[in-house]
Structure formats: C-alpha cells, structure tokens
C-alpha cells in the first residue's frame, strides 16, 4: 500500500490546521490508474512512496489566501527547506531553477483549481514542521541567493536537471516541462 511521503503528510496537516473548513474537492496525492499507466509523475508511487500533493485552492477564506499560502511555501523552500522540489499554481512554476523565482508554467493544465507540491526524497521520512511563517530562519533569507547554488545537478540529486526531456505528469492531467 503506497503512502504519501512524510513531508507531504506534514504539510497537509499544517494546512488542515490553518484552514479546517477548506474545500478538499481538488485535493489529491496518488495517481489514478490511467495516469499510472501513462508514465512518470511524482504522484505515482516509487518504492511505495508518493512524492506529490495537490491542495484545493479554495481554502474557504479570502480568495487571495491561496496565493498567500503558496507564497509561504515558496519562501520556506527558498530559505532552504530542500524537502520541497517544486510548486505549481495559477500558471506559474516555482523551483530551485532561478532560485524559486516564479516562472511561466507551460503545461496543459494551468493549475487554478488546486496547487501542486512535489517533494524530494529528503521528505520521505522527514515529517518535521514546515516553517511557513519564516520566523525561524529569517537570517538566512538575506543569503537566499546562494541557496540555489548548493543543489547538486549531477544526477545523484532528485532535483530535476531541467533538460528538455524532463517532463512529468501529475494527477491533474498536466504535463510539465522543467526546462
Ligand atoms: Zn498534481
């Protein structure tokens, strides 16, 4: 039986705690059979672990709240939480490429009903607290420009190298190129 990685479980728990009345209709984690057959996706279990999470953008709060939450996750990743691999929301992708700068997302599904978070293998067993408010590592942020450079791109890392052939599908039917 496949499991959502520990980091994904923890992040979802924190979001549930913050938004107990949120709409979960567009939530998801494990790929359905059709997408399983299709090939590569972080939603497809690898060694029994799923490393992707979809969160419904309707947090039952102010409409802008989803943007604010995504921004918190992005900043957490930028400050150096390497469990987060990339985030997609509302036509934008955020990843270590260009140091977590929002870039145009060219996949078929622009991800407006939900946002997608992919996790690295570091999150498989590490379910520690996500510092979304940023009060713990504020000092590091001034040095944020250097954080992205520390990520190895030699193939031993699970961070996408960004090659043209680097395409991943997610449950939502999207197919993304990390180039
Ligand atoms: Zn997804």
> In terms of pLDDT, which residue wins out, 162 or 50?
50
Q: How far is the CA of 128 from the centre of ligand 1 (A)?
A: 22
User: Which two tokens mark 32?
Assistant: 């359905």
> In terms of pLDDT, which residue wins out, 152 or 11?
11
How do residues 108-153 score in pLDDT, each as one tens digit? 889 999 999 999 999 999 999 999 988 654 444 445 555 555 544 4
Q: How far is the CA of 101 from the centre of ligand 1 (A)?
A: 20
d(CA 44, CA 50): 6
Query: Residue 162 — very low, low, confident or very high, per pLDDT cuts 50/70/90?
Result: very low
d(CA 24, CA 175): 22
Q: How far is the CA of 36 from the centre of ligand 1 (A)?
A: 13
Q: How far is the CA of 148 from the centre of ligand 1 (A)?
A: 23
Q: How far is the CA of 83 from the centre of ligand 1 (A)?
A: 16
Q: How far is the CA of 53 from the centre of ligand 1 (A)?
A: 6
Q: How far is the CA of 155 from the centre of ligand 1 (A)?
A: 23
CA dihedral 18, 22, 27, 29 (to 10 degrees): 20
Q: How far is the CA of 43 from the centre of ligand 1 (A)?
A: 7
Query: Residue 52 — very low, low, confident or very high, per pLDDT cuts 50/70/90?
Result: very high
Q: How far is the CA of 30 from the centre of ligand 1 (A)?
A: 9
Q: What percent of the chain has pLDDT over 70?
A: 75
Mean pLDDT of the chain: 82
pLDDT, position 135: 65
Region of poorest pLDDT, from 40-44, 79-83, 161-165 = 161-165
pLDDT, position 34: 81
Average pLDDT of the segment spanning 148-177: 44
How do residues 81-94 score in pLDDT, each as one tens digit? 999 999 999 999 99
Query: Residue 33 — very low, low, confident or very high, per pLDDT cuts 50/70/90?
Result: confident
C-beta atoms surrounding 20 within 10 Å = 8
Q: How far is the CA of 142 from the centre of ligand 1 (A)?
A: 31
Which has the closest alpha carbon to 11: 88, 118, 105, 96? 118
Average pLDDT of the segment spanning 17-24: 96
Q: How far is the CA of 109 from the centre of ligand 1 (A)?
A: 10
Q: How far is the CA of 34 from the centre of ligand 1 (A)?
A: 14
């Amino acid at each position: 039986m496949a499991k959502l990685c520990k980091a994904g479980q923890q992040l979802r728990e924190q979001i549930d705690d913050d938004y107990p009345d949120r709409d979960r209709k567009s939530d998801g984690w494990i790929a359905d059979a059709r997408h399983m057959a299709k090939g590569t996706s972080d939603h497809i279990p690898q060694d029994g672990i799923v490393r992707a999470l979809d969160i419904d953008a309707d947090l039952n709060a102010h409409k802008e709240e989803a943007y604010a939450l995504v921004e918190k996750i992005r900043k957490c990743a930028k400050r150096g939480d390497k469990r987060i691999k990339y985030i997609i929301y509302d036509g934008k992708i955020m990843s270590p490429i260009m140091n977590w700068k929002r870039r145009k997302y060219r996949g078929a599904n622009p991800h407006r009903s939900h946002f997608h978070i992919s996790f690295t293998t570091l999150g498989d067993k590490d379910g520690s607290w996500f510092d979304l408010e940023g009060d713990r590592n504020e000092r590091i942020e001034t040095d944020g420009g250097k954080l992205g450079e520390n990520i190895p791109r030699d193939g031993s890392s699970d961070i996408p190298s960004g090659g043209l052939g680097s395409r991943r599908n997610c449950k939502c039917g999207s197919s993304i190129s990390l180039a």
